[in-house]
Amino acid sequence: MSKYLFNYSSVAVDDLAVARVYEQIGLKKVWEGVHPVFGANAVMMATGKGGTLLLDLPSASHPAVKRLAGSKERNLHIALLCEDLAAQRERCRQSRFVKTLTDDFEGPTGRSLAVELDIGSGSLWMEFTEGLDRLVSDTGSGFECVDSVAMVARSRRDIIEPIESVSLPRNTAAGDGYFKVLDAINDIVVMDWHYLEVNEPTRDKGVMANFLDRMGGPGVFGVNYVPKNMKEFVETAKRFSIDMNTQEPIQLMVEVRGKEYGCAEIITVNPRATGGARVFVLRPLQYPWQLVA
């Protein structure tokens, strides 16, 4: 088991009533309260492993949340579980990328700290909670897990190096997955079932470059969920009139070491339906780290 586990990521929404959409597609509400750092009313939505925290933007006091008002992309931060919070604090103190390091606080899942990382032309907030047994989860969810968090930067190193400085190193054998349809190449940080993915645009006017332009700088652009049954998810989404960019899954191809593979079957939920979070629902097929020695 990794000494870090993914716990949840967050998105700032205009109205917490959008939690109903997450419930309709299969997540479970497991916590309500106020996030002590971001100063916002919040609702935690869980999959079987990992979750999504909805932050109420109108109630937020923290500038990092408030600046997302009016933005087309509202993903904010990533929360990981760690074994020892004191050791994690020391690691953050030693990082040259740290802009802000909070005091300890009682977060949605336990004693935590938050750190703001300098990622070049922007910031990435990460939260660390002590205890690998503090995982956000609900076995009644229609999703197995939060498969991954997808990020984008002009250069992969802009995000990868700050993350490496405070948590896990990237998996060098797993990176360099080239997605022609997205005009992007990636680096990967693997944590058990979950991975953090940082994409670098390979073309100025491609899909990934457009994500970067929409966001106005580097950061999180999407979250990937694995459904227990893809067919049932599609039927449920259509029954509740959830806005999807494609009505059926498409196969996402990846090129690794000069060979092309079917990475996943994937369907995109439009951010308008989820309050600003770009949600991808996918069934993993062949991931790069499963294809290389």
pLDDT digits (tens, 9 = 90+) for 219-272: 999 999 999 999 999 999 999 999 998 889 999 999 987 888 899 999 999 988
183 and 205 fall within a common domain: yes
16 and 50 fall within a common domain: yes
User: Are the beta carbons of 151 and 9 closer than 8 angstroms?
Assistant: no
Closest CA to 275 of 12, 60, 33, 9: 12
pLDDT along the chain (293 residues), means of 10: 88 96 97 98 98 97 94 93 97 97 98 97 96 97 97 96 92 82 92 93 93 92 96 95 91 88 92 90 82 45
147 and 268 fall within a common domain: yes
**Is residue 117 domain-resident?**
yes
**Is residue 135 domain-resident?**
no
Query: In this structure, what is the dihedral angle of CA atoms 94, 99, 105, 106, given to the nearest 10 degrees?
Result: -100
226 and 98 fall within a common domain: no
**Is residue 72 domain-resident?**
yes
Report pLDDT digits (tens) over 79-109.
999 999 999 999 999 999 999 999 999 999 9
230 and 163 fall within a common domain: yes
**Domain edge (last residue) among 72, 102, 130:** 130
**Is residue 147 domain-resident?**
yes
**Is residue 57 domain-resident?**
yes
**Domain edge (last residue) among 83, 107, 130:** 130
**Is residue 136 domain-resident?**
no
215 and 179 fall within a common domain: yes
192 and 99 fall within a common domain: no
**Is residue 138 domain-resident?**
no
* Residue environment code for 245-263, b if the CB has 16+ CB neighbours within 10 A, otherwise e: eeeebeebbbbbeeeebeb
156 and 210 fall within a common domain: yes
CATH code for the domain of 120: 3.10.180.10
Integer Cα distance of 276 and 221 in angstroms: 10
119 and 231 fall within a common domain: no
Integer Cα distance of 229 and 233 in angstroms: 6
When divided into structural domains, the chain yields a total of 2
The per-residue pLDDT for 293 is: 37
**Domain edge (last residue) among 130, 154, 171:** 130
254 and 200 fall within a common domain: yes
63 and 167 fall within a common domain: no
User: Can you give the residue range of the structural domain that contains 115?
Assistant: 4-130
**Is residue 96 domain-resident?**
yes
284 and 147 fall within a common domain: yes
Q: What's the whole-model pTM score? A: 0.95
